[in-house]
Amino acid sequence: MRLAAERIDWTIHGHKLLDDVSLVVEPGETFGLIGPNGSGKTTLLRVLAGLRKPKIGRVLVDGLPMNRMRRRDIAQSISFVEQQAETLDRIEVREAVALGRTPFLSPLRSWSDQDDAIVSQALDDVGMHHLAGRLWHTLSGGERQRVHIARALAQQPRVLLLDEPTNHLDIRHQLSILQLVRQLPVTVVIALHDLNQAMDCDRIGVMDAGRLVDIGTPRQVLTAERLRRTFGVHVDILDDPIDHSRIMRFRNAV
């Protein structure tokens, strides 16, 4: 599914949070969003998810303007894992993941074995099967995050939006979630804090003060000049002697 933003502006209290943002994410692409705190990554993801409706500019889903799509149709194709995900008290992990199936249920289409299988697969994918019967509020931050990702996967979206999904995770789960996300045959837009993780995306967009200031492959975008200008850090880009991948070492630019 192709996701496009066309000239999006988003202003609140006279403060421009998104400034003329245009972007096309191709079907199956993993697109990373990076930028300093407050640069507009979350705001852009919320617009792409249909949670914020821009007055200027529009979002297109496979060429169709999102503002003409029904809520349910959007939910059947796009799922969003928010940064500060809401708490769901007194609910078991499996039920929380099962919520991802909601857009597909109706009086004519009740819960089926197939939904059960999809929920089980999603729990497996994030390594949470063993905790399926646990109550949500007893989970750690990282476990909750994995449940949220499982809920999004159970939605079987064609577009998956993730807002800094690895923040609460230990290194092993960070790597496994990123690997999982990259392997999914869906269009992914993922805001990432860790620039080394961003290097594994197909393309990267750089947000700076509400503007998308750069877009391209990780090698095109993650240059010493860009990191100095946008993040205010000095970077040494090193070549891994084993596989010639890039290693970035950061220092404060003073």
Stretch that binds ligand ADP, among 34-42, 91-99, 122-130, 232-240 (CB under 6 A): 34-42
In the sheet with 56-61, reading across from the earlier edge strand, the strands are 15-25, 3-12, 56-61, 64-65
Residue list 182-241, contact with ligand ADP (CB under 6 A) = 207
Phi, psi of 134 (to 5 degrees): -75, 150
Q: What residues contact residue 3 under an 8 Å CB cut-off, 6+ apart?
A: 24, 25, 48, 59, 60, 61, 78, 159, 187, 189
The residue within the footprint of Mg ion, chosen from 23, 25, 33, 42 (CB under 5 A), is 42
Nearer to ligand ADP, 39 or 155 (CB): 39
Nearer to ligand ADP, 27 or 38 (CB): 38
Q: At what angle do helices 171-183 and 141-154 cross, to 10 degrees?
A: 10
Nearer to Mg ion, 38 or 65 (CB): 38
Stretch that binds ligand ADP, among 36-44, 97-105, 112-120, 194-202 (CB under 6 A): 36-44
How far apart (Å, rounded) are the C-alpha atoms in residues 103 and 72?
6
For residue 43, state whether it binds Mg ion (rule: CB under 5 A).
Answer: no
Taking CA atoms, 90 is separated from 125, 133, 147, in Å, by: 23, 11, 14
Nearer to Mg ion, 19 or 92 (CB): 19
In the sheet with 159-163, reading across from the earlier edge strand, the strands are 78-81, 159-163, 187-191, 30-34, 203-208, 211-216
Stretch that binds ligand ADP, among 41-49, 116-124, 125-133, 143-151 (CB under 6 A): 41-49
The residue within the footprint of ligand ADP, chosen from 3, 30, 34, 42 (CB under 6 A), is 42
Residue 30's nearest CA partner among 239, 177, 243, 231 is 177
8 binds, among Mg ion, ligand ADP, none (CB under 5 to 8 A by kind): none
C-beta of 34: minimal distance to ligand ADP in Å?
A: 9
Q: Are 8 and 44 in contact (CB under 8 A)?
A: yes
156 binds, among Mg ion, ligand ADP, none (CB under 5 to 8 A by kind): none
C-beta of 163: minimal distance to Mg ion in Å?
A: 6
For residue 37, state whether it binds ligand ADP (rule: CB under 6 A).
Answer: yes
Tokens 């970077």 belong to: 235
Question: Which residue's C-beta sits nearest to Mg ion?
Answer: 42
DSSP secondary structure string, 110-136?
---HHHHHHHHHHHHHTT-GGGTTSBG
The residue within the footprint of ligand ADP, chosen from 3, 4, 5, 17 (CB under 6 A), is 17
For residue 41, state whether it binds ligand ADP (rule: CB under 6 A).
Answer: yes
Residues in the site for Mg ion, rule: CB under 5 A?
41-42
